[in-house]
Structure 1
Amino acid sequence: MTTMKGTGGASPSRKITVLSHVKYEHLVAGISGGVASTLILHPLDLIKIRFAVNDGRTPAPQYQGLRNAMATIFRQEGARGLYRGVTPNVWGSGSAWGFYFLFYNTIKTWIQGGNTKKPLGPTLHMVAAAQAGILTLVMTNPIWVVKTRLCLQYSDMVRTRLPESKRYLGMMDALNKIYHNEGIRGLYRGFVPGIFGVSHGAIQFMTYEEMKNTYNQYRMVPIDTKLGSMEYLTFAACSKLMAAALTYPYQVVRARLQDQHHDYKGSWDCVCRTWRYEGVRGFYKGLVPYLLHVTPNICLVFLIYEKFTESS
């Protein structure tokens, strides 16, 4: 905590702390955007995960593209199959976006000293986003493990090949079984590549903020001036595509470490085995459904967030 005193005793001392910049509307806005986008786009997220973990050596359905995957899952598992893991995904996305926006805006405003019109530049934007990402990951990683495993339960025929300890009836059952059979370590599988994935959020938020600031400076208005819906959607989509193109392989490694059908010794073992058997292509499995999922997802999240905070 830093105490700043006015010169000559002219002004009373005031205390500036990170907590003094907390605004809970950012938490609510993030939760709203995360939940809404997840409910709409979950099937694409599920298909992305199934493509990402399919290394051709473990028992898993084989899909011939996105359309075939959608049709096969619907035929074999019904509409419910397309929404496997939706409960932890809603909880995870809602809480992750809520915490991320809360932490990010609190840290950013603290760096600005409370002056939202003060530009930070790319480096400080990335620092704020990275710190927010790490804090969010610590709080939400167990939910992402559960989401991944529920998305990978496949049909009953494949599921019966697993031991009872790896068959889950729902979110709470999965949390309970993972904790009792694998401990805290099981709930934090994929945490290391998740840390590398913080760079994804940092690049995304830096790009988004810099695009907004540059656009407002071009219009010769304060950098915190609100924009129209199309500007928010355009900047959100561009920032997500850039971040995804640079960092997608960590998503594959993370999903495989969290998959109950795989048994890797750690992140490096996963990277080596993926490279050995699948080459570069293996690190980009599921990229198409991922982009189809995350691009409208991030547009919805950012638009809902911006409009929510605008009206707060």
Structure 2
Amino acid sequence: MSNVIVRDVTPNEGPEDLPSAQPSSSKPKSYTHLIAGGFGGMCGAIVTSPFDVVKTRLQSDLFQAQHQRSAPGAGGAVSSARSLLYNFVETGHILRSIYRDESPRALFKGLGPTLVGVIPAHSIKFYTYGNGKTIIAERFNDGRENSRVHLAAAAISGIATGTATNPIWVVKTRLQLAAERTSAAGGQRVLHGSWWTIKNIMREEGVRGFYKGLGASYLGVTEGTIQWVLYEQMKGFAQGQGGATEWLGMMGSAGGAKCVASLITYPHEVLRTRLRQPLVNGVVKYKGVVQTLKLIVAEEGARALYGGLSAHLMRVVPNAAVMFSIYEGVLRWAPY
């Protein structure tokens, strides 16, 4: 008869002392990343939508002249040698002018397609990244995560997200660059919606029109990789602090990582916006990434590659803090 060893658990012995205290099911389900990313992205987009409108207009040459003429101090020393501080002041002035001259609703132009794009985009991004880093670590790095694993997962996530959602961002950009028109009958202001914009793009440019700026979006994959790697590293310092301190640290990590990544890679945002602009008198001005880069520098100088940077930072930094904190919260408290 074989001996049977019975192991008693003493009152002082905690679960951590047992051989397999944490069940394998404690890891988030794959679909949890999908839900958490979509919900976080939606909340962040709604809160920061006005800054997104300002950023898009400052990136485009269609609105630059208009806003420069109306900006305080235009034509003087400030406009010729703008400081970063003045760019933030300019952002506030443009927000006020849009509210006054167009309508409060104009501050949320493109929010419909933004939400239509943000929810699947961030669902795809967080789903592919969250599950991708696990798969890559298990198959290629003995189950351990490190910066190389995070970088590879972020690159795959960025390419998948950009390819899937590019048509939505084209429609959003066109809506944000569309000025309100006054109808001939009754003098009422008219705002064209998403469906009209979709039909107009299809009629004038065909299916290819929905994929304008895709090359610049792929350049933007570098921003996502930098952001994810920095976030994972910075988050490590905040984890284990507990309570509000840990959450504030994670929010700061998300915002700080996004700020650094945006400053490094921002010109691709301007290139992408220019490539997605509508036709002007039936003419396509910007035709490719390299051609657009050369044309902007030749006509407007290298400074134009950072047009709208202040509005961009005012949008993406709090957006990232909100989005990542909600994402982490859903992962932590979701039932598995």
Do they superpose with TM above 0.5?
A: yes
Distance in 1, Cα, partners of 2:252 & 2:60: 31
- Partner amino acid, structure 2, of 1:209: E
Deviation at 1:238, TM superposition (A): 1.2
Written as runs of structure 1 = structure 2, the 5 A alignment for 1:114-133 is 118-133=143-158
- Give yes or no for contact 1:257–1:264 (8 Å, CA) kept in 2: yes
Distance in 1, Cα, partners of 2:202 & 2:124: 23
Q: Which residue of 2 aligns with 1:303?
A: 325
Deviates more, 1:170-179 or 1:201-210: 170-179
Written as runs of structure 1 = structure 2, the 5 A alignment for 1:87-102 is 87-102=112-127
Select which of 267, 274, 284 maps to 1:256: 274
Distance in 2, Cα, partners of 1:306 & 1:228: 11
Q: Which residue of 2 aligns with 1:286?
A: 308
- Partner amino acid, structure 1, of 2:305: F
Deviation at 1:76, TM superposition (A): 1.5
- Give yes or no for contact 1:52–1:256 (8 Å, CA) kept in 2: yes
Tell me: CA distance 1:22–1:136, structure 2 relative to 1, closer, same or farther (3 Å): farther
1:193-242 Cα distance to aligned partner (Å, 9 max, x none): 100001100110011112223555xx69xxxxx98211111110111011
How many residues get paired? 278
Is residue 2:38 matched to residue 1:31?
A: yes
- Partner amino acid, structure 2, of 1:93: V
- Give yes or no for contact 1:77–1:155 (8 Å, CA) kept in 2: yes
Distance in 2, Cα, partners of 1:198 & 1:176: 29
Select which of 178, 187, 198 maps to 2:201: 178
Tell me: CA distance 1:116–1:91, structure 2 relative to 1, closer, same or farther (3 Å): farther
Distance in 2, Cα, partners of 1:115 & 1:271: 38
Q: Which residue of 2 aligns with 1:40?
A: 47
Distance in 2, Cα, partners of 1:283 & 1:59: 16
1:157-194 Cα distance to aligned partner (Å, 9 max, x none): 6x99xxxxxx9732222223212331221000000010
Deviates more, 1:133-142 or 1:120-129: 120-129
Distance in 2, Cα, partners of 1:85 & 1:171: 8
Tell me: CA distance 1:191–1:82, structure 2 relative to 1, closer, same or farther (3 Å): same
Deviation at 1:155, TM superposition (A): 2.8
Deviates more, 1:142-151 or 1:268-277: 268-277
* Deviating 4+ runs (over 6 angstroms): 114-117
Is residue 2:121 matched to residue 1:103?
A: no
1:72-108 Cα distance to aligned partner (Å, 9 max, x none): 1111111111111110011111111111000111111
Q: Which residue of 2 aligns with 1:269?
A: 291
Distance in 2, Cα, partners of 1:109 & 1:146: 34
- Partner amino acid, structure 2, of 1:180: R
- Give yes or no for contact 1:22–1:102 (8 Å, CA) kept in 2: no
Q: Which residue of 2 aligns with 1:244?
A: 262
Deviation at 1:261, TM superposition (A): 5.1
Tell me: CA distance 1:50–1:117, structure 2 relative to 1, closer, same or farther (3 Å): farther
**Larger radius of gyration, structure 1 or 2?**
2
Distance in 1, Cα, partners of 2:227 & 2:151: 9
Deviation at 1:116, TM superposition (A): 12
* Structure 1: segments with no counterpart, 5+ residues: 1-20, 161-166, 221-225
* Structure 2: segments with no counterpart, 5+ residues: 1-27, 72-89, 185-189
1:110-138 Cα distance to aligned partner (Å, 9 max, x none): 01229999542222211110101100111
- Give yes or no for contact 1:236–1:298 (8 Å, CA) kept in 2: yes
- Give yes or no for contact 1:142–1:187 (8 Å, CA) kept in 2: yes
Distance in 2, Cα, partners of 1:250 & 1:242: 15
1:27-55 Cα distance to aligned partner (Å, 9 max, x none): 11111111111111101000000001137
Give the alignment's Cα RMSD to 1 decimal.
2.9
Distance in 1, Cα, partners of 2:165 & 2:191: 19
Distance in 2, Cα, partners of 1:288 & 1:150: 21
Partner of 1:260, secondary structure, is coil
Distance in 2, Cα, partners of 1:114 & 1:241: 32
Q: Which residue of 2 aligns with 1:74?
A: 99
Q: Report sequence identity in percent.
A: 32
- Give yes or no for contact 2:41–2:118 (8 Å, CA) kept in 1: yes
Is residue 2:236 matched to residue 1:213?
A: yes
